[in-house]
Amino acid sequence: MGILRQSRIGFALLGGVITTLATVPPAAATIILEDPGSIVVQQVNDHPCLFGGKSCNNPTGFAYTLLSNNPAGDTYNTDSPIYTVGQIRSILALTDPTNFNSFFVGIDLNTTGKPTEALQLFSITVGGTLIDSFSATAPGQLLQTENNGTGFSDDLLKGFDLSSFAATDSVVFHLTENGAVDGAEEYFLINAANPEPVPEPASLALFGSGVIAMMGALVLQRRRKRDSTVA
């Protein structure tokens, strides 16, 4: 009887441990903040703002949290609107209808002089549970200014994935940024499967001049060929 009683107690304790483990929420994954490198993306309707100033271009019905210029204490500490997983997927599907679960968040910095904007926290909560986050010791990690205030990404937050969630699950992003001076930054969605790199403004001019030069060379070559045929 003593052995049987001890066995029952052991199973009961084991069951309690299993139940406890099952109710512990998953640990938040790590989001990486990095220089965009060659993936420079423009904030447009297909890449809508989660946070940003009045210049954000968003499709009808996809709201964003309006950030003010020169906020009090030079700090943003705020949440995005409440979305659903289905809403986020529908936006990502605009650039790739077959891959719409993994995404980046592009950041377009807006500052003057030496940059002071530093990202301390950016997180995503799905269905009430913290899923992914980037965090740094206050005041945070200094943001880059490669495309300052142009609507093109200066930085990328990478590592977001919604593949394991239901379309009806709620989604909320949180932003804590310090040293925010001058105009509002823009934080916007980018499909990781098809980020659609866009030439930077300076590159567009170079590309245009290159095309014109190539067309001129072709016309000159045809004229020479025609003249030699006539001769």
Q: Is 95 left (phi over 0), alpha (psi -120 to 50) or beta?
A: alpha
Instruction: Identify residue 68 by its one-letter amino acid code.
Output: S
Residues 6+ apart with CB under 8 A from 141: 33, 118, 119, 120
pTM: 0.75
The predicted-structure confidence for 99-147, as pLDDT tens digits, reads as follows 999 999 999 999 988 889 999 999 999 999 999 999 999 999 999 988 9
The secondary structure of residue 20, as a DSSP letter, is: H
Go through the chain and tell me how many residues it has: 231
By CB atoms closer than 10 A (0-12, 13-18, 19+), residue 146 is: middle
- The whole-angstrom separation of Cα 127 and Cα 131 is 9
Beta-bridge mates of residue 15: none
**What are the E-state strand segments in 80-140?**
83-84, 102-108, 118-126, 129-135
Beta-bridge mates of residue 118: 142, 178
Decide if 100 contacts 85 (C-beta within 8 A). Answer: no
Q: Is 154 left (phi over 0), alpha (psi -120 to 50) or beta?
A: alpha
- The whole-angstrom separation of Cα 76 and Cα 70 is 10
- Max intra-chain CA distance, the chain: 117
Tokens at residue 191, please?
């499909």
Q: How many CA atoms lie within 13 A of 106 on its CB side?
A: 33
- The whole-angstrom separation of Cα 31 and Cα 100 is 18
Which secondary-structure segment (H or E) carries 228?
helix 201-230
Tokens at residue 139, please?
């005041």
**Domain extents for the chain?**
23-199
Tens digits of pLDDT across the chain (231 residues) = 454 444 444 434 334 433 333 334 444 558 999 988 888 999 999 999 999 999 999 999 999 999 999 999 999 999 999 999 999 999 999 999 999 999 999 999 999 888 899 999 999 999 999 999 999 999 999 999 889 999 999 999 999 999 999 999 999 999 999 999 999 999 999 999 999 765 545 444 444 444 444 444 444 454 444 444 445
